Structure 1
């Protein structure tokens, strides 16, 4: 497990890359998003702050680029935020979320 966090969101390039990132970090926040999604754009600054300020690795998944991954993850609407702890899905939130609520989940899983 990696303890070094990137400090900014990592864009998943493929399903294999995504799986590698989830396995590599203790706590991962996955932001399933789309360029055409207004709420996703509203959430983006919060996601960037979480990446910079928390212990979690933040992974962004464009559902249009990685449709198979989004479908396999059961993503039906965006934004969907999925938390992983030690490689296992731990929590899922849908829609725009408050930064403090997201940080609380990260703290709970750390």
Structure 2
């Protein structure tokens, strides 16, 4: 799983447009749940379910509270799943590796798996 970081709203928009299967981790530095989600994502990244996915890390301290509010984010961490640039699901709070894998299987299945 490739990991990218958004440092501007333009980075964020370009990444959404460029990657058909994308996980977005909205987080902030002083959030214990965010650190726990990082550990889950690291474990998930080593699984077969993560093959071909891109993870975009979006930090509140970098893009700002207004950016987060404009997206309708109410808490960190929040993990969003995007398919072809459209949000398919949003998972608020800590997610275990198995929960992430289930959501990816449900919302980001490849075209081959859909057939």
Range of TM-score over shorter length: 0.7 to 0.9
Distance 1:50 1:21, change over 3 A: farther
Paired residue for 1:3? Answer: none
Count of matched residue pairs = 104
TM-score for the superposition, normalised by structure 2: 0.81
Q: What does residue range 38-57 of structure 1 map to in structure 2 within 5 Å?
A: 38-53=32-47, 54=50, 55-57=52-54
Runs of 4+ in 1 over 2 A off after TM superposition: 48-53
- Tell me how far 1:52 sits from its aligned partner: 4.6
Q: Report SS of the residue matched to 1:64.
A: helix
Per the alignment, in what secondary structure is the counterpart of residue 78 of structure 1? coil
Q: Note if contact 2:2-2:53 (Cα within 8 Å) is conserved in structure 1.
A: no
Q: What's the CA shift for 1:51?
A: 3.9
Unpaired segments of 5 or more residues in structure 2? 110-115
Q: Kindly name which structure, 1 or 2, has the bigger radius of gyration based on alpha carbons.
A: 2
Which is worse superposed, 28-37 or 70-79? 70-79
What per-residue deviation string (whole Å, max 9, x for no partner) do you get for residues 82-108 of structure 1? 111110011001110111111122122
For 1:40 and 1:66, the matched residues in 2 are separated by: 16
Aligned equivalent of 2:76: 78
Q: Note the 1:20-59 alignment, pairs <5 A.
A: 20-53=14-47, 54=50, 55-59=52-56
